[in-house]
Amino acid sequence: METKRASVPKKVKPIQRRGLHIFLITAAIVLAILGQVELLKRIYIAGGVLYAFAILAFIFSARPNPSAEITVGTLPKLKISAPPILLLTSFMISFVICDMVRSGIQFPSSALVIPLGWALSILLFIIGVLHGSGWRFPVLRKMISDVKSHRIEIGLLSLILLGAFTSRIILISSHPYAFANDEGLIALDAIRLQTNEMGSIFAVSSAAMPMLNFLPTLISVDIFGRTVAAVRLASVLEGVLTVLFVYLAAKEAFGKRVALIAAAVLAFLPVHMHFSRTGFNTILFSFYASLLVWLVLRAIRTGRISSYLLAGLAGACAFFTHMGAWIAIAFTVGILGYFVFFRKDYLRQSWIHLLVFFFAMGIVIAPQTVFFVKNPHLFAARLNAVGVFQSGWLSTQIATTGKSAVYLLGSQFLKSTLAFISLNTPYGFYNTPNPYFMPLAAIFLVLGMGSTILRLRKPSDLFLFAWFWSVIILGGMLTTDAPATHRLVAALPAAAILVGIGLDQTALTLARIKFIPRRIGSLLIGLAVLVIAVYGVKFYFVDYRQYNWYGDHSNEVEFESTRIMQQLGKDYQLVLLGEPELAANFPNYVFLLNGYTRKDLAPGSAFPVSEAPEKTLFVTIPGRKEELEAIAQSLPGGSWLDLQRRWASNEALFSAYIFPAARVSLYAAHAHPMNVASKRFTLPIWTWWVAAILASIVLDLWVLPLVWRRLVKKERPRTGAPWKWFSGLGKKLHWWLEE
């Protein structure tokens, strides 16, 4: 089987009835702008109606983009010709390992035998499939030739990935502030995986996630130590790779230009940057969604058994993460199911490929599946906690509010959908008054959705449509606290691709009706992406940080008191007056203060000052400051500290007493901005200076020379002169994206 990746047509056929289409595309953009304004004003009916008419106008003005077509060709049927000794051995070892997991056999070396046997069964299966299918290593000379022939494309993609990495790694220890307890819990679970504290690598954590989910964090912590940066570094790399996989997936289905736009939008999307900089591991939802879509589409296109093998292994890895990533597995299986049922001869010609895909996935997840079969209450534990039906949330809301189930589920659906374009997002570890996409990106996201609806009969658009809405329904509507941002992360890559489709289809339509040259369309797309990227960086690193939307008093107390303890050293003990808000055994204290002595002092309890006290750091929350003052009076000779919240200097953080006195370095607190509402979608003053500089460049390079030729040299006007300068600028960009 081979799917031909469609390319962007070099010649754009003009659309008939040019005046009508100019009116329709103009109406679509204007109505979309008005609809976005109304939604931001929380006038949902008017905004929805305007957006609906905008989509209709856009659909009637547009024409399907041939780059979205996926056609399936045929290849010579591939068979595994070698004797399947390696495969049979792999299955036998896997069966033994599964039986050991089921029976719970424990012996001195069982903690080592089970993982090694499991890894050996996977390795033998991979070798058996590759050898039997005649796979060969890629030829180095051909790889170099391919790189040279695509050097401009690789260069542009490398710039996007460099920007994505920079925006995710800079200030990683201090932003977002502060290190959350859930991040510390992830780090502790990673250490439990290393020490085999849970008894098996196929056990689950306290949050009902498979222990192998924490392997990337464990590797990072082992290399860089017990630091905030080490815990977050795994998410940084996963986030950057997600940008790469989005490009590859979009290129398979929609062409190079849409892929570049989608990758650039996702690289600087604030919400994606945020979860790529935290240690929650929720960025894996978008990571596996993008990876699996790319690998499955690539497997269908190439028809190689090795591609199906790789897709199956990646799907198996997704099974070891949070239940949210399982949506990606079901979705990719659905893609294969589509071709089985709706593509003639696909099953007959590719049944061996499909067997390799499912056997590869099965042999990897078999031990974990056996564990869940043995412990069914753990399999759906997380779903039982957050599902609207399983947790009893829906029945409770019906009894409390008197609303019907249809109304409540519809509200959940709207909240999860509007979070992308207009609704504030106060839940799910993101906590901002802004939607995920800025207004410009939101407009083209909706128009891209309209373009996708127009082409739903094409597999690529159908898959994208299903990708986005399956996450909205399963991760948003059917879970509590909608919109819970960390459960909607898997839809962000699909939304970025929709933005790319909206921008690309708009430029194509304007070119077909000869409203602007195609090169100008490419240039305008680049400017739009630049605006989206600048806004994303500015919002996340300026507004989000200053307003401390991620901030939490308890997390900040733990983070700052930990920094003081690390400066004092292990000679000091920590005595915490934190109840009922804090305790010395909270995950962040356990992870960051490993080897330190930590104690809780309950409310009303007296500290034994009669005994010779050790070197001690006393930390108290504001509500128990009087108790610490009494301790300080009974232990003279120490140093007193009053700390304010770092990004809200008018709010007390905690008080501390160091005995005996010692010098420590502290941060400088910043005043909290007062008017949050006025900060919605505003640009700093320097952006206006940039605009003025660009305007002066246009004036110098186009307007003044034009005036000189017309008025001084008396030259006759040339046809198309206003576009010459812009066309020259857009020429290379057009070549890079189209040729």
pLDDT in tens, 223-252: 999 999 999 999 999 999 999 999 999 999
d(CA 146, CA 118): 37
Neighbours of 213 (CB within 10 A): 23
DSSP sequence for 310-343: HHHHHHHHHHTS-HHHHHHHHHHHHHHHHHHHHS
SS3 for 105? Answer: coil
**Nearest of 232, 239, 125, 256 to residue 172 by alpha carbon:** 232
Q: Are strands 573-577 and 648-659 parallel, antiparallel or unpaired?
A: unpaired
Report the C-alpha gap between 598 and 575 in whole angstroms: 6
Please state, rounded to an integer, the average pLDDT across all residues of the chain.
84
Distance CA 183, CA 231 (A): 7
Angle between helix 492-512 and helix 518-538 axes, rounded to 10 deg: 150
In contact, 558 and 583? CB cutoff 8 Å: no
Q: Enumerate the β-bridge partners of residue 133.
A: none
**pLDDT digits 0-9 by tens, 427-459:** 778 989 899 999 999 999 999 999 898 888 889
Q: What is the predicted pLDDT for the residue at 108?
A: 56
Task: Please name the residues in contact with 331: beta carbons below 8 A apart, sequence gap of 6 or more.
Answer: 289, 292, 293, 466, 467, 470
Contacts of 504 (CB under 8 A, 6+ apart): 65, 254, 255, 257, 258, 261, 525
- Across 131-136, average pLDDT: 82
pLDDT at residue 697 is higher than 70: no
Residue 500 and residue 243: Cα distance in Å, rounded?
13
- Which architecture, in CATH terms, is 553-679? 3-Layer(aba) Sandwich (3.40)
- pLDDT in the model for residue 348: 85
Strands 639-645 and 597-600: unpaired
Confidence of residue 102 (pLDDT cuts 50, 70, 90): confident
- Is this prediction's pTM over 0.85? yes
Look at residue 594 and tell me whether its pLDDT is greater than 50.
yes
Enter the DSSP assignment of 196: T
Contact 147, 253 (CB under 8 A): no
pLDDT class of 492 with cuts at 50, 70, 90: very high
In this structure, the number of other CB atoms found within 10 A of the CB of residue 162 comes to 12
Closest to 287 measured CA to CA, from 339, 327, 342: 327
Cα dihedral 101, 279, 433, 385 in deg (nearest 10): 20
Pairwise CA distance, residues 70 & 5, whole Å: 7
Give the distance from CA 9 to its chain's centroid: 32
Residue pointed to by tokens 């199906």: 308
* Orientation of helix 459-471 relative to helix 439-454, angle to 10°: 130
Residues ≥6 apart with Cβ < 8 Å to 384:
390, 391
Task: Please tell me what DSSP assigns to residue 631.
Answer: H
Distance CA 517, CA 233 (A): 44
Give the residue with greater pLDDT, 722 vs 374: 374
Torsion of CA 125, 127, 132, 136, to 10 degrees: 150
The C-alpha atoms of residue 560 and residue 652 are separated, in whole angstroms, by 13
At residue 678, the pLDDT reads 36
Could you tell me if 189 and 212 are in contact, meaning their C-beta atoms sit under 8 angstroms apart?
Answer: no
Q: Which two tokens stand for residue 278?
A: 């935290």
For the ranges 484-488, 532-536, 697-701, the maximum mean pLDDT occurs at 532-536
pLDDT for 729: 45
Q: What is the model's pLDDT at position 146?
A: 81
Could you tell me the end-to-end alpha-carbon distance of the chain, in angstroms, rounded to an integer? 27
8 A C-beta contact, residue 172 and residue 232? yes
Q: Poorest-confidence range of 19-23, 60-64, 162-166?
A: 60-64
> Pairing mode, if any, of strands 70-73 and 2-5?
antiparallel
Beta strand pairing call for 648-659 and 639-645: antiparallel
Tens of pLDDT, residues 405-419: 999 999 999 999 999
Please tell me the least confidently modeled range out of 295-299, 322-326, 578-582.
322-326
Residues in CB range of 151: below 8 A, 6 or more apart: none
Could you tell me which residues come within 8 angstroms of residue 197 by beta carbon, excluding any fewer than 6 positions away? Answer: none
Question: What is the distance of C-alpha 240 from the center of its chain?
Answer: 9
Q: Which residues contact 282 (CB under 8 A, 6 or more apart)?
A: 275, 322, 324, 429, 486, 487, 489
Is the pLDDT confidence value at 711 over 90?
A: no
Closest among 493, 494, 488 to 427, alpha carbons compared:
488
Q: Which of 131, 43, 49 is nearest to 87 (CA)?
A: 131
On whether the CB atoms of residues 210 and 200 are closer than 8 A, the answer is no
Q: Above 50 in pLDDT, residue 736?
A: no
Neighbouring-strand partners of residue 656: 619, 641
Single-letter amino acid code for the residue at 44: Y
Q: How far lies 738's CA from each of 159, 256, 584, in Å?
A: 18, 8, 59
What is the arithmetic mean of pLDDT over 649-657?
Answer: 89
